């Protein structure tokens, strides 16, 4: 970026001198020599020095990675081709050249690649896909050739039989050709990678396996994914509840946990968290314990850490008395309706500002569900609408605090349309015009608003009592909330 600015600045000065009548020929020759020197000497030297390439003897083992039992099993099966190459050769099995790890960010793709190197006792080279892309023609392709050359040199130097080249952000290097119309350097670099992978043979003295990671597999060029290049595609997904428990146990090994800490409960609350999120939860919990000069990490610290990772740090924002009343009514509406339609679902209700939220209600996920019925989606929409409707019922007006709720409700309605759960039936929603979709969306929301309002009107007294308690306490656990509701009833 800085180099581009210098080029633009130099061109401006050059044009100014030319207009003023100066002889710019010597300056032009000097610039040309400098450009030639950078392109063909310095940039090649950068490639030779291995810019961006990380070489490491990894100490990470598969046992150090939790929550990915399926991915680990599939990956280990593919890596056995490196460990038992003689047996594979006797059976006439072609060696695997590439393994693609795909999945959301933070799920452990890089850790799996490092563990693969230890599992196979291979030399390990790691590089980011962005390191290959330059504005100068041929630089990226040269870096690809240098990377494979370096891998072979490392195998000889370390007296090993194999090397693993790990390319992170593969969607940058391996994007569909033609997608960067004005920059053919991308396509040249990708072509060189394909050539290098096609040239990998087990009888070259060193078996090189290319591993790559991406969270956008749909953006990759089809030539990369064909058999003979990236032969195996391993899905590294978000961990389920058992996986989250395993990850939490790994990241709390070196931390003093209080005896009452129940990691299963923390795992239950963190549905949708990746391994990176869970590591952050345990780290933040330890920081909270440090702030309080505590010798152990308690459940309170872990719950607080979950909220921080999910919503952000507490803010010193001080709402006015009128705003505090509205926020308390809004959050009480969410919590009350959640307990009516899904009993025992509220984990925490708070009117303390955190992140971008003036208040929030945190719910226990109903197990790890991956399929939702129409009734479940409608219940979720009703809970999101309840905050604004509670404001309207008690105060007579709604506020801008419900904008995020409406966005969430519209996303849920969109899921209903896509799943054929509307009056439109099963149809290609993308082909419908706004005039066709809007009445259906409004109809669904109007019906659910009416049902939600009936529940709020019926439980208005309980809503107001929870609001007053919340204004005093600022935060209530789900158990405390349910105890109050039971007492009110």
Where in the sequence numbering do the catalytic residues fall?
A: 331
CA neighbor of 194 nearest in space, from 221, 156, 159: 221
End-to-end alpha-carbon separation of the chain, Å? 65
d(CA 226, CA 236): 20
Helix (H) / strand (E) containing 449: helix 434-458
How long is the chain? 489
Whether 471 contacts 332, CB under 8 Å: no
In this structure, the strands spanning 207-214 and 475-477 are: unpaired
d(CA 70, CA 260): 31
Residue from 366, 370, 352, 262 nearest 307 by CA: 352
- Tell me which residue of 301, 235, 250 sits closest to 60, measured CA to CA: 250
Per-position DSSP letters for 349-380, written without gaps between them: EE-S-BTTBSSEEEE--SSS-S---HHHHHHH
| Rounded distance between C-alpha atoms, residue 452 and residue 30, angstroms | 75
- Token pair of 322, please? 């009128």
DSSP symbols for 464-477: HHHHHHHHHHSEEE
Strands 207-214 and 162-168: parallel
What is the three-class DSSP state of 101? strand
């Amino acid at each position: 970026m800085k180099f581009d600015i210098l080029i633009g600045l130099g061109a401006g000065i050059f044009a100014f001198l030319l207009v003023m009548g100066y002889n710019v020929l010597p300056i032009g020759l000097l610039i040309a020599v400098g450009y030639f020197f950078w392109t063909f000497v310095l940039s090649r030297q950068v490639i030779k020095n291995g810019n961006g390439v990380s070489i490491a003897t990894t100490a990470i083992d598969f046992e150090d990675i939790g929550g990915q039992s399926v991915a680990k099993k599939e990956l280990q099966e593919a890596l056995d081709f490196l460990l038992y190459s003689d047996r594979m050769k006797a059976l006439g099995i072609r060696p695997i050249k590439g393994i693609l790890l795909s999945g959301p960010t933070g799920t452990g793709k890089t850790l799996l690649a490092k563990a693969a190197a230890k599992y196979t006792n291979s030399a390990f080279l790691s590089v980011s896909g962005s390191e290959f892309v330059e504005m100068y023609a041929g630089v990226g392709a040269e870096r690809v050739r240098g990377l494979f050359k370096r891998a072979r040199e490392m195998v000889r130097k370390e007296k090993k039989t194999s090397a693993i080249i790990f390319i992170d952000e593969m969607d940058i290097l391996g994007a569909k050709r033609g997608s960067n119309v004005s920059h053919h350097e991308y396509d040249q670099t990708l072509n060189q990678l394909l050539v290098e992978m096609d040239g990998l043979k087990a009888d070259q003295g060193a078996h090189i396996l290319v591993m790559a990671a991406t969270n956008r597999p749909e953006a990759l060029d089809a030539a990369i994914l064909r058999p003979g290049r990236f032969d195996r595609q391993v899905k590294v997904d978000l961990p389920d509840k058992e996986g989250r428990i395993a990850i939490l146990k790994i990241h709390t090994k070196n931390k003093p946990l209080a005896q009452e800490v129940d990691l299963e409960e923390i795992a239950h609350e963190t549905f949708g968290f990746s391994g990176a999120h869970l590591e952050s939860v345990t780290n933040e919990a330890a920081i909270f314990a440090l702030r309080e000069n505590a010798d152990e990490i308690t459940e309170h610290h872990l719950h607080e850490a979950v909220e921080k990772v999910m919503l952000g740090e507490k803010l010193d924002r001080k709402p006015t008395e009128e705003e505090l009343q509205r926020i308390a009514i809004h959050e009480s509406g969410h919590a009350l309706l959640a307990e009516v339609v899904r009993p025992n679902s509220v984990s925490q209700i708070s009117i303390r500002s955190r992140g971008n939220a003036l208040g929030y209600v945190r719910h226990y996920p109903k197990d790890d569900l991956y399929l939702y019925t129409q009734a479940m989606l409608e219940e979720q929409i009703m809970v999101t609408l309840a905050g604004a409707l509670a404001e309207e019922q008690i105060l007579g007006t709604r506020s801008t605090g419900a904008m995020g709720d409406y966005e969430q409700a519209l996303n849920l309605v969109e899921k209903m349309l896509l799943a054929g759960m509307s009056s439109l039936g099963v149809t290609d929603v993308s082909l419908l015009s706004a005039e066709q979709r809007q009445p259906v969306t409004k109809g669904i929301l109007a019906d659910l608003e009416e049902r939600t309002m009936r529940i709020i009107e019926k439980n208005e007294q309980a809503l107001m009592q929870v609001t007053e308690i919340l204004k005093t306490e600022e935060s209530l656990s789900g158990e405390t909330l349910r105890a109050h509701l039971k007492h009110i009833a």
